[in-house]
Structure 1
Amino acid sequence: MRLSKRLRHDARRTGVRLVWSGRKVRAAEVTEGLTPSVARATNLLRVCDVLERHGIPYFCVRSNSVTMTAVAVPARERARAERALRVSALAEGALLAGGTTGGRPLHADQRGSWSQLGEESILRIWWLLTDPTGHWTLGPNHACVIEFWAEQGGLLIAPVPNLTATAVVAAENPVQVPVSHFTGPISGAVGALPQVDTRSEFTLSLPDEVTFPVDAVYTWVDGADPEWIRRRANALGQTDYHEQAISAARFTSRDELRYSLRSLHQFAPWLRTIYLVTDGQVPAWLNSAHPGIKVVHHRDIFTDPTALPTFNSHAIESQLHHIPGLSDHFLYFNDDVFLGRSVTPGEFFHANGLSKYFPSNALVPMTPPSPEDPPSEIAAKNNRVVIAGTFDRVLTQKMKHVPHSLRRDILQEIEERYAAEHRLTQHSHFRSPSDLSITSSLHHYYGQQTSRSVTGKIRYTYLDLAAPNTGRHLNRLLAQRDYHTFCINDTVDDPDTAEARTAMLKTFLESYFPVPSPYEQPGPVSSRPPANQVDAYRSAQHPAPRPL
């Protein structure tokens, strides 16, 4: 492929990498710690900086888009704003298009680009940003939308709808708020955030906004730890458990937790604190000193210490609401569950506190529990008995393998109302016929019957590493990145294929989540350019940008 002179020039600049954007190869800025929130903030702040430096009035708007930001400029200032954005040093490398979606990208530093879009009432401008490995590039989906508001009768009138106000007083003075008011929390941001201009109408909290804190909880085990293996063998003894209850595949760690945490950092920076519940184990790579993550030992949450040690996820999950300091609303993750795109708290909770749950099309068999049933199925049938006995309702659906939206008050009420069943679950060292599956099913049905949980919708997929077509599905997932969340499970304990399954998973996860989270110990990344080169490029090309 023959590259244009412009691209060859761009490629020689320090801190730039050539990437595919649509059907073209373009130059993208290498950006440390790249996440969607960083891309949104970068695009918004650059536009605001240019307008401020040229004395052009503007105000940020609460956009209808989850991924893009918006800036309003009085229509009478359009010519000045376009020229300022075109001649600014920031314009080199910026791309421009009309409307809120679609449109052929044009170079923002060329007069003809702006002329072509002269009839458009809204424009999009963005910079292509890529992570140091080149695996991930963010562009038009995180653009800053420039809206030109017409003046009429002393009011400025919006050209398109937004979340708050389509008309504001033209003469009113702007107010300043942190940029995160329009981008959402910014991954990795430390200290005070830059301020941007807006109008008072866009500073108000709306009825459907989730404003309460939401934490995340993981349960994790290192199944290769010799001391843990010894404890498990002693607990197992001669008892005859179902094969799935004691399968080594249930406890195998392929570093999924590292990448699941990366997914939270990239796609849910609004989470307050992450709690990692373990049997005294800590991953070697974990930065446990980071204030945003806390390691919790089983003994700190089990109400009856005689139930320990336990190797039963049902038992551990029955105690999560006892985590000290845990928020009243939280998400529960298994380490094989990942966020696949930006999500908001509203995906999991309503603003009035109701939690959402996500039923599967798979049904719980109507047959009585049997020793041949998988332990998860027996627990679901036990849940059905409990719900039917209390509410005269028969649950039939399983739940999707997604982050579970949980409330501490519901979990506490279940513990008190079904004390005998709850105690049996807590004291089962391995998955047993008496178990309840509380966090993944019973909580949701109990909450629904007590008017505290409702069904929700989320784009989700489930993949089994042992399935023959999993590699093709992983490639599709990597290319499209269109699921809110996905689960990659391993249901086969086959040592002959374990290495191949691990390699396939590792390649996929490193490509999908290339940006290390702050929850990892710092380590070298071979493909990362020297930090001083990146800083030198930014200083040379973008004078005085506001830091994130």
Structure 2
Amino acid sequence: MFIAIIYIYFDLPQQFKQASVQHYFISSNDGLSSPSLINPNNTVTLKLQRYNVSSYVDSICPEGIDVVWLWVNGSDPGFRKEFEKNGKKGGEGRYRDYNTLQYSIRSVYNFAPFIKHYFIVTMGQTPSFLNTSQFKWNEYTIRIVDHKEIFPNIKDLPVFNSNSLEVSLHNIKNLSSCFLYLNDDMLLGKELKPEHFINSNGKLKVYHNSWKAPDTNRMVKNIWHRSVGNSNELINKHFGKIKTIKHPYVSHHCYFFKRDILKQMEDTWPEQYKETRRHKFREGNDLAIPFMHGAFVVESDQGFYVKESNYYYGSFTSSRRSNTKLMNNIQKKQPQCICINDALEKSSLAVIHKETAILNSFLETYYPYPSPFEKYIQFN
């Protein structure tokens, strides 16, 4: 068992100046379960934040902007039983919960106050840090969405494939017409405004990296790259493009989706959607929804590509030096969006415990102020 006492003494952005917080105690028996306040007398005071969006953002997103996370606790015995029952072993890195969801939620609450409604898509699980008796605070709400709610045919369940879930996100009940989509290892590094995704002409900005599809070398080696390459071919065929036209990979960070576009995509490729939903694990002919949404937006003249800037993607490994460099880079650069990939797959349990404890201490320092949905938090 480890106990870390973290004191926060650094300057914060202006929007946090009115908040006050006492020290936190992080306690865990295995180093993997979510840290939480173990002193229920600790109190956080945080005023309701306001943000006025531009009129052109309102015209594109009249219902506001929500946020959706995919999350799973791969260490849960029930999950492991279903996972192995369906013919798989291993995969701990892809499904391990190492507490980043708690800080991802904090990052949205503190850095994107215009987002009021939170949805966590999961397989019958609830994150341990959530206060299940407080899923609403002022204008803010959070809701656990079971896979059964978003799958048209529940016989396709269970699935352990993020591609299968991403083709179903637009089926979430009461989800707004625009939403931010995050994996549980994606966080905001500084203040985010909706204008980051929408320009003054109402066009969507589609952020991309330097890779382009199809990348035949990567497709040979990796299922995910094959799905991107195959998705690129579908886009080209639908929009009357040459088969080999390359579209850039969208940035693997914070995705901005429009629900009506996702629905239009399913209407365009209904059979491919059905097939992807049936895939319990990743397959090369899966639809790659973030990539396809971006390409669809651009090809239908609803947006344009923008080279990513001040986004940060890093892998957390068994190397203390590498992990220290990653955390220092985040602290120094304060990226707009962050993705911390779990690359501890082949590490010993002892190393995983130590490195994730260090990561959690860093995240607790970077995101000291909790969301209103955490246990032991009382808001005024």
TM-score by length of 1: 0.57
Gap change, CA 1:285 and 1:18, over 3 Å in 2: closer
Gap change, CA 1:352 and 1:286, over 3 Å in 2: farther
Match of 1:482 among 302, 312, 334: 334
Gap change, CA 1:226 and 1:18, over 3 Å in 2: closer
Q: Could you say what the CA RMSD is over the residues aligned between the two structures, in angstroms?
A: 3.0
- Within 1, Cα distance between the matches of 2:8 and 2:128? 35
Structure 1 stretch displaced more, 457-466 or 302-311: 457-466
Gap change, CA 1:18 and 1:376, over 3 Å in 2: closer
Summarize the alignment of residues 444-463 of structure 1 with structure 2, pairs less than 5 Å apart: 444-456=294-306, 457-463=308-314
Residue number in structure 2 paired with 1:189: 48
Summarize the alignment of residues 69-88 of structure 1 with structure 2, pairs less than 5 Å apart: none
Could you tell me which amino acid in structure 2 is paired with residue 508 of structure 1?
F
Asked if the contact 2:120–2:143 (Cα under 8 Å) also holds between the matched residues in 1, the reply is: yes
Match of 2:100 among 256, 259, 269: 256
Residue number in structure 2 paired with 1:428: 279
Match of 1:327 among 176, 190, 195: 176
- Within 2, Cα distance between the matches of 1:520 and 1:298? 23
Gap change, CA 1:133 and 1:357, over 3 Å in 2: farther
Asked if the contact 2:314–2:340 (Cα under 8 Å) also holds between the matched residues in 1, the reply is: yes
The number of residue pairs the alignment matches comes to: 337
Asked if the contact 2:227–2:286 (Cα under 8 Å) also holds between the matched residues in 1, the reply is: yes
Asked if the contact 2:227–2:288 (Cα under 8 Å) also holds between the matched residues in 1, the reply is: yes
After superposition, give the CA deviation of every residue in 1:294-353 in whole Å (9 maximum; x if it has no partner).
111100011111111100000001000000000001010011011011111111234565
Match of 2:125 among 276, 281, 285: 281
Q: CA deviation at 1:412?
A: 0.7
Could you tell me which amino acid in structure 1 is paired with residue 101 of structure 2?
L
Residue number in structure 1 paired with 2:15: 37
- Within 2, Cα distance between the matches of 1:287 and 1:364? 43
Q: CA deviation at 1:458?
A: 4.4
Structure 2: give runs of 5+ residues left out of the alignment.
1-6, 25-45
- Within 2, Cα distance between the matches of 1:36 and 1:235? 50
Higher relative contact order by CA 8 Å / sep ≥ 6: 1 or 2?
A: 2
Could you tell me which amino acid in structure 1 is paired with residue 162 of structure 2?
S
Q: CA deviation at 1:409?
A: 1.0
1:518 counterpart = 2:372: yes
Residue number in structure 1 paired with 2:135: 290
Could you tell me which amino acid in structure 2 is paired with residue 224 of structure 1?
S
- Within 1, Cα distance between the matches of 2:142 and 2:47? 13
Residue number in structure 1 paired with 2:72: 221
Gap change, CA 1:228 and 1:188, over 3 Å in 2: farther
Asked if the contact 2:66–2:118 (Cα under 8 Å) also holds between the matched residues in 1, the reply is: yes
Asked if the contact 1:471–1:504 (Cα under 8 Å) also holds between the matched residues in 2, the reply is: no
Asked if the contact 1:210–1:346 (Cα under 8 Å) also holds between the matched residues in 2, the reply is: no
TM-score by length of 2: 0.80
Asked if the contact 2:8–2:368 (Cα under 8 Å) also holds between the matched residues in 1, the reply is: no
Gap change, CA 1:206 and 1:374, over 3 Å in 2: closer
Summarize the alignment of residues 136-151 of structure 1 with structure 2, pairs less than 5 Å apart: none
Q: CA deviation at 1:364?
A: 3.5
After superposition, give the CA deviation of every residue in 1:419-478 in whole Å (9 maximum; x if it has no partner).
12111111100001220111x211110111112232245421111112652312312422
Could you tell me which amino acid in structure 2 is paired with residue 260 of structure 1?
S
Q: Secondary structure at the match of 1:358?
A: strand
Summarize the alignment of residues 351-362 of structure 1 with structure 2, pairs less than 5 Å apart: 353-362=202-211
